[in-house]
Amino acid sequence: MSQRIVITGASSGIGAALAWEYAGRGYDIGLCARRAENMEVLCTELHARYPSQQFIYETLDVNNLESVAPVLKTLAARLGSIDVLIANAGVTGVRRTGNGKLDIDVGIIQTNLLGAIATIDAAIAIFREQDRGHLVGISSFSAFRGIPGSAAYSASKAALSNYLEAVRTELHKKNIQVTTIHPGFIKTDLADNMERFPFVIEAPKAARLMAEAIRKRKKEATVPAWPWNFLRILMKKMPDSVVAKMF
């Protein structure tokens, strides 16, 4: 029997790359995101390549917190169950503090943290009922060190990583695994001018590395491991003046 995975934020970027990676691994896949037309095209392309597998989608905006659980339950019913759920939906944003545009930060926190929490809560409810499952949260390297100009984004990902750690500890006696992924710089169709940053990798490679970490049921993984595991330690010790020049 094929394993079944649900991916949020799956209409483009890392989510779409993960869909292609898991399709290649033989999974039946449930996609959810805001852009139904993108998911319809993606499901059609996936089915053309892998006709024996199931590819379905449901429209979901994780900012509509009350809709998250019903949509995930619908996907679970349509697939038969969920073996892995990847909470990937998120947004980036740049804002220098002091300009008064708090709506930017509010939107980032709403999507990246509250939307993710709603997804995690709904997934764990399904997994408790099934008595099994694997939850994966896509955080960020910026969870380890706040990035100038991206304070809200960094804060949202640090909070998400902390939340996932607490959930994993809470469930340590259950047959439910929790993995936190901390990507470095990933080039996708959603990220402009990524070439100016160091150690950038393409989304398909990132998806492959993430899938391997998930397969190994790691508690957490930095993608790619080199050089970000080293930089994770180094950047915490860097003076603020040095980090400010980097970004």
Q: How confident is the model at residue 193 (pLDDT cuts 50, 70, 90)?
A: low
Q: What are phi and psi of 62, to 5 degrees?
A: -65, -15
What does the alpha-carbon distance between residue 208 and residue 44 come to, in Å, rounded to a whole number?
A: 21
> Taking 80 as the threshold, does the pLDDT of residue 196 lie above it?
no
More reliable by pLDDT, 96 or 128: 128
CB distance 28 to 46 below 8 Å: no
DSSP labels for 36-80?
HHHHHHHHHHHHHH-TTS-EEEEE--TTSHHHHHHHHHHHHHHHS
Residue 126, SS3 per DSSP: helix
Domain boundaries, the chain: 4-246
55-59 and 176-183 beta bridge pairing: unpaired
Q: What is the pLDDT of residues 67-120, one digit of tens each?
A: 999 999 999 999 999 999 999 999 988 888 899 899 999 999 999 999 999 999
Q: What is the pLDDT of residues 136-191, one digit of tens each?
A: 999 999 999 988 889 999 999 999 999 999 999 999 999 999 999 999 988 877 66
What does the alpha-carbon distance between residue 83 and residue 69 come to, in Å, rounded to a whole number?
A: 16
CB distance 61 to 35 below 8 Å: no
Q: Report pLDDT for 190.
A: 60
116 Cβ neighbours under 8 A, 6+ residues apart: 62, 87, 89, 90, 137, 160, 163
Q: How confident is the model at residue 240 (pLDDT cuts 50, 70, 90)?
A: confident
Cis peptide before 239 (omega within 30 of 0): no
Instruction: Give me the helices (H) in the chain, please.
Output: 13-24, 36-49, 65-79, 102-109, 116-130, 151-170, 203-215, 225-237, 240-246
CATH number 3.90.1150.10 is the correct assignment for the domain at 4-246: no
Q: How confident is the model at residue 1 (pLDDT cuts 50, 70, 90)?
A: low
Average of per-residue pLDDT values in the chain: 93
What does the alpha-carbon distance between residue 24 and residue 47 come to, in Å, rounded to a whole number?
A: 11
Active site residues: 153
Q: What pTM, to 2 d.p., does this model score?
A: 0.94
> Taking 80 as the threshold, does the pLDDT of residue 201 lie above it?
yes
Q: Report pLDDT for 77.
A: 97
86 Cβ neighbours under 8 A, 6+ residues apart: 5, 6, 7, 8, 15, 18, 136, 138, 214
> Taking 70 as the threshold, does the pLDDT of residue 194 lie above it?
no
Residue 201, SS3 per DSSP: strand
Cα end-to-end span (Å), the chain:
47
Output the six-digit token pair for 161: 């990583």
Percent of the chain with pLDDT over 90: 77
